[in-house]
Amino acid sequence: MTHVSLKDVAARAGVSFQTVSKVLKGKGNVSPETRTWILQVAEELGYVPNAVARSLVSQRTSTIGIVASDFNDYVLAQFVVGAEREARRQDQCVIVGSIDQEGHDSERYLRLLMERRVDGILLAAPQLELNARIGEMLQGQLPVVSFYRVPGANFPVVGSSHSQTGYLATQHLLELGHRRIGTISGPIHRRAAQSRLHGYQRALHEAGIMYTPELVEEGNWQVEGGYEAAQRLLERVPDITAIFAQNDTMAVGVLSALHERGQRVPQDCAVVGCDDIPIATHTIPSLTTVHLPFYETGEVAMRLLLDIITQRIADPPERTLLPVYLVNRRSSGCHNNTSTLDGFSPEKEIIGGED
Taking the CA atoms of 303, 306, 312 and 317 in sequence, report the sign of the dihedral they define: positive
pLDDT in tens, 181-191: 999 999 998 99
Q: What is the pLDDT along the chain (355 residues), one digit of tens a residue?
A: 466 777 877 888 888 878 877 777 777 778 888 888 878 888 787 777 655 445 444 456 789 999 988 778 888 899 999 999 999 999 899 988 888 766 567 788 888 888 888 999 999 888 888 777 888 888 778 999 999 888 878 899 999 999 999 999 999 999 999 999 999 999 998 999 999 999 999 999 999 999 999 999 999 999 999 999 999 999 999 999 999 999 999 999 999 999 999 999 999 999 999 999 999 999 999 999 999 999 999 999 999 999 999 888 878 899 999 999 999 999 999 765 333 333 223 332 333 334 6
What's the domain range around 121?
Answer: 58-155
Q: Is residue 334 located within the same domain as residue 208?
A: yes
3-state secondary structure 295-324: HHHHHHHHHHHHHHHCCCCCCCCCEEEECC
Helix (H, G, I), strand (E, B) or coil at 123: strand
Q: Write down which residue in 98, 123, 155 finishes a domain.
A: 155
Q: What is the pTM of this model?
A: 0.79
Q: Is residue 312, in this structure, part of any structural domain at all? A: no
Q: Taking a C-beta distance cutoff of 8 angstroms, is the pair 181, 244 a contact?
A: yes
Domain limit, last residue, from 124, 155, 186:
155
Is omega for the bond preceding 323 within 30 degrees of 0, making it cis? Answer: no
**Chosen domain end from 123, 155, 187:** 155
> Is 125 in the same domain as 268?
no
Phi and psi, residue 230, nearest 5°: -65, -40
Question: Is there a domain that residue 195 lies in?
Answer: yes
Mutual orientation of helices 6-13 and 32-45 as an angle, nearest 10°?
Answer: 120
Give the number of other Cβ atoms within 10 Å of residue 68's Cβ: 20
CATH of the domain at 16: 1.10.260.40
CA separation for the pair 86, 82 (Å, rounded): 6
Domain total in the chain: 3
